[in-house]
Structure 1
């Protein structure tokens, strides 16, 4: 289980390793979540030949820090940049960056700074503040969202994707904010895997 040193302490990330994967996803979890919550998602991706890496945000999982204070957007983005550098070690191909909720806000912010470092961007449960960001039209973006998401209403992401035609929005009926842990999780994981393989090939 890899660790790296950030300005706010030692951070942990988890890798579900594959030999010669077709693609890699680097996942930034939401508030209160950590890499240990994503075993089922990793297994679904593995069957498609995709390797998953997931970060423990500062204060979550095995990372140092205050669980009640994960950091501001600039701090979270700096941590995510170091995480991506670790994912890319010894691998020439750029990974797909994925974020859920707070992780989605971090991911879209990072993607606007360094779009060339990414093969694509996957956003899950995208919060309102992230929907104000303008993505690079050359960067493939997939947004997955629950129609019944009360923490991040789908109407906001619908308007955002309507303004940015490069974003592929997939909506899931009878699903809320945490798509990867709801009854639709297998369909969401399969949609993400198919999209990623289309982007990286």
Structure 2
């Protein structure tokens, strides 16, 4: 099983290999989730040529750490950069970074000072993530459930309206965890289509 060392211990990740991938999508899960929750997403992306990598956040899945204390955004961002280093060592193209919920906050933090990304995908983005500004010229997709009670959509609508590089996709009758709700097939298909267009 693949691991890498971080200042907070050994962190586990999963990679779903694709023959001759067009791009790698690096996923940072939300609170209480881990890479094992994303086999279905990997199955949807793989046939399109997108190779999924996903991190077990510290304390989740097979990673070392305290499940009750995922860490500061700075610590989570450092862990994400560690996984991006693993991806860079194994692939030849710039990856797309994706985050769900707390992972979206982390992804925005990483993208603010990381020039090796092809694009950014945000899912269920919390309001406090909108304090971050996307790097100039970086394509950003935000997918969000209209009925999201954990991270209400209004803040994301205002944020995306201020940033021309952000494409917001809204899903009616959907909540916070789009990739595990009835709309998940549609969401995965639209993510794949957008990612492939962004990296062409």
Report TM bin, short chain: over 0.9
Give runs of ≥4 in structure 1 deviating > 2 Å: none
Q: Which residue of 1 aligns with 2:144?
A: 145
Per-residue deviation, 1:23: 1.1
- C-alpha distance in structure 1 between counterparts of 2:130 and 2:187, whole Å: 20
In the alignment of these two chains, the number of paired residues is 200
TM-score, normalised to structure 1, is: 0.98
Instruction: Give the conservation status (yes or no) of the 8 Å contact 1:144–1:169.
Output: yes
- C-alpha distance in structure 2 between counterparts of 1:173 and 1:155, whole Å: 14
Per-residue deviation, 1:102: 0.3
Q: Which residue of 2 aligns with 1:92?
A: 92
- C-alpha distance in structure 2 between counterparts of 1:55 and 1:45, whole Å: 17
Q: Which residue of 1 aligns with 2:177?
A: 178
Instruction: Write out per-residue CA displacement over residues 30-56 of structure 1, whole angstroms, 9 at most, x where no aligned residue.
Output: 000000000000000012111000000
- C-alpha distance in structure 2 between counterparts of 1:52 and 1:62, whole Å: 18
| RMSD, aligned CA | 0.7
Say yes or no: does 1:12 pair with 2:15: no
Per-residue deviation, 1:65: 0.5
Say yes or no: does 1:65 pair with 2:65: yes
SS of corresponding position for 2:65? coil
- C-alpha distance in structure 1 between counterparts of 2:37 and 2:90, whole Å: 26
Say yes or no: does 1:155 pair with 2:154: yes
The worse-fitting range, judged by mean Cα deviation, of 128-137 and 47-56 is 128-137
SS of corresponding position for 2:112? helix
Q: Which residue of 2 aligns with 1:25?
A: 25
- C-alpha distance in structure 1 between counterparts of 2:67 and 2:193, whole Å: 34
Per-residue deviation, 1:112: 0.4
- C-alpha distance in structure 2 between counterparts of 1:35 and 1:185, whole Å: 16
SS of corresponding position for 2:48? coil
Say yes or no: does 1:53 pair with 2:44: no
Mark the runs of 5 or more structure 1 residues left unpaired by the alignment: none
Q: Which residue of 1 aligns with 2:113?
A: 113
- C-alpha distance in structure 1 between counterparts of 2:143 and 2:90, whole Å: 30
Instruction: Write out per-residue CA displacement over residues 133-169 of structure 1, whole angstroms, 9 at most, x where no aligned residue.
Output: 1112300000000000001000000000000011000
Instruction: Give the conservation status (yes or no) of the 8 Å contact 1:137–1:164.
Output: no
Instruction: Write out per-residue CA displacement over residues 78-101 of structure 1, whole angstroms, 9 at most, x where no aligned residue.
Output: 000011010111322110000000
